[in-house]
Chains A and B, each alone.
Chain A
Amino acid sequence: MGIAFKTNETFRDDFVYANSPAAIRRFPFPFPEDQYMYSVNIEPHAPGAKGSVFEHPFDIDEHYIGECRERARILDSEPNRCLALPHMMVAQWDTLELIMESLARDYPAHFSLARDGTRWTWKNRLLGIEQAFTFGDATTLSQQPMEYVMRQTQGDWVLMDQRGGNLYMDGGVVTTQADWSLDFDLGMNFVEWHGPVPLAHELGVIDRALAFLLRLRLGAPVRRLNWTMTINPRLDTSPEHYPEWGPDRAKVTPDNAGDLAHLRVELQALFRLPRSNAIGFSIRCYLISIKDLATVPKWAMRMHRVLKTLPDELADYKGLTRYRATVVDWLSRFDDGRELSPGTAPV
């Protein structure tokens, strides 16, 4: 184990955030090739290499305390960042059970769960929480079950109800998102909420992904990586707060590009939930400055090539257009044009 948890991180205003060398080494770099294009790049969410972000279903890392603090701050001031339609209460309990079971099993030094029938006791040593409650009785927790457990989890969570051959976004806790809004998407079906994604509909990616997910099996979760870029290590790039972060994109200069521009990678995992038959979608965000990324020579070269060749529609959709050329220039010093090994490994 031995994670050195940081205690003073912030993801806004003064941006106190950095990745340790160990965190850089385990960063989920998403580009196996020099060019990026969509694919239904789904694989089993099976336990990955020890120490990697894939080792456990829910990854806890050195940023845990700061991220939980950031989530609490947002939920306290903007309650509509956590929403669940009434028929999703069973899925909320499924969520709580899945995450508590996972964390207690995978990080016994930090979390524990004792179950005696429906009388459960949860301990979170990192946040100093000890909570006895009755599983299935929301009045025994200080928040609804999904909010309760998500305040102690890194990454966002979306609940999809499955009915009539479609998936409906009927709940979630979303505070670390790449420019989309749960409040806006709530109640939409899978095809509707993917409406703005360019090219993917024409390629049939959305329909194939939906057909696959409708058959997602209990105990066989799947995952994929998605990516974009963010200026500053800002977790909450929500449309609601666009006026605060949108202008940052005009601040990137040849001198500060390596510090300001961050690669933002989402480890997205999908779980069939047992009692509700809903699907839980975890979106775990990892941020790394381009400067830190460039400490790995292969990643610097590949990032340079991916950004340079990215189709304009995708650059627009991801919001990179204004500063893409500046970051490409900044990275070009690392790229001698040599052939790179396939795959995402650092060497």
Chain B
Amino acid sequence: MSFDQAIDVRVTDIEAVTPLIKRFTFEALNGDALPAFSGGAHIVVEMSDGERIHRNPYSLIGSPWDNGRYRIAVRRSEGGRGGSRYMHEKVAPGARLRISPPVNLFPLIKTRNKHVLIAGGVGITPFFAHLAELRAMDVPHELHYAVRSREHAAFADELAGMIGDRLRLYCSEEGQRIDFGALLARQPLGTDVYVCGPEGMVEATFAAARAAGWPESHVHAEQFASPPSGEPFEAVLANSGITVQVGAETSLLEAIEAAGVDAPCLCRGGVCGQCALDVIECEGELVHHDHYLSPEERKSNTKLMPCVSRARGGRVVLAL
């Protein structure tokens, strides 16, 4: 996200939902209503953590028809790059943050006859707003929600209040597992499936859909992957005349931003294509993690998406 459209917000409420998840409520600092949003939309939250700036995407939860406030749920991640720890440890009610306007890369396909939502853990977040939309549209839908244990299922009570028996909860500690094959096999034609959760869950959903002969256009995923780590490398920003060192746990985009260079970007998840950079020279190899570039573009070694992709085995020279 380029922060040219950034909105200053104040944290008005923080609530511990599960041992690992906190829910934050934001209101605009200037008192205006925050922009309306659509189901599946996310914002990017900017956190100034000493020298370091974290920018993490979070789905907006709640109904798109509630005006004015935003709510997000943040799962504390010990192994991550520190953004979620910052939100859990250093952000208190009254704190000020900067956020991007909402962007939707995970919308409902409103022309379909039925919608099956599959969530794992904190991957439930985009579905709150989807469910509000589905109920308003009055179309068939069901939610399959997998958690580790009852202790981690606090959102399930709220969801049951919203959608009743359209919710099916699976606790892995109690041996309950989603049978992806059976779930997709019994859906009527014209159904779409949406999955948000750990990589294994996303892969299982896609594999089951393929096996059942579903067209790919009916299968949708939002993955909450933080930028993949890798080996440290050096990036030369040719137009800016700057060389940045990219650490193992830092993304190339974050390193570029930390050097004070304004790089266009939007989703920070390798999906939107906004940040794609031209590669002028590459000593080693490019490691692509995006979902945007075509196979030809990847092979050509001339494009790189710095939000998720990296270089390995030497320096890379970029047109930035």
Contact = CB atoms under 8 A, between A and B. Distances in A.
Partners in one complex: yes
B102 A87 contact: no
A223 to B, nearest CB: 17
Interface string A52-95: 00000000000000000000000000000000010100100010
Given A162-B107, A275-B64, A277-B41, A219 B266 contact: no
A215 B103 CA distance: 9
Interface string B91-117: 000000000011110010111000000
A22 to B, nearest CB: 34
Given A274-B36, A274-B102, A277-B104, A215 B5 contact: no
Contacts of A163: 107, 109-111
A164 B111 CA distance: 11
Nearest to A165: B217
A35 interface: no
B36 A87 contact: no
A274 B37 contact: yes
Contacts of B156: none
A197 interface: no
B126 to A, nearest CB: 13
Interface in A216-233: 217-220
B59 to A, nearest CB: 14
A276 interface: yes
B110 A218 contact: no
A215 B274 contact: yes
Interface string A93-117: 0100100000000000000000000
B273 A211 contact: yes
A136 interface: yes
Contacts of B133: 90
Contact of A218 (B102, B107, B273): B102
A218 B217 contact: no
A161 interface: yes
A276 B37 CA distance: 8
The 4 A-B residue pairs whose C-beta atoms are closest, nearest first, are A274-B36, A87-B110, A277-B38, A277-B104
Interface of B: 5, 35-38, 40-41, 64-65, 101-104, 107, 109-111, 133, 136-137, 217, 266, 272-274
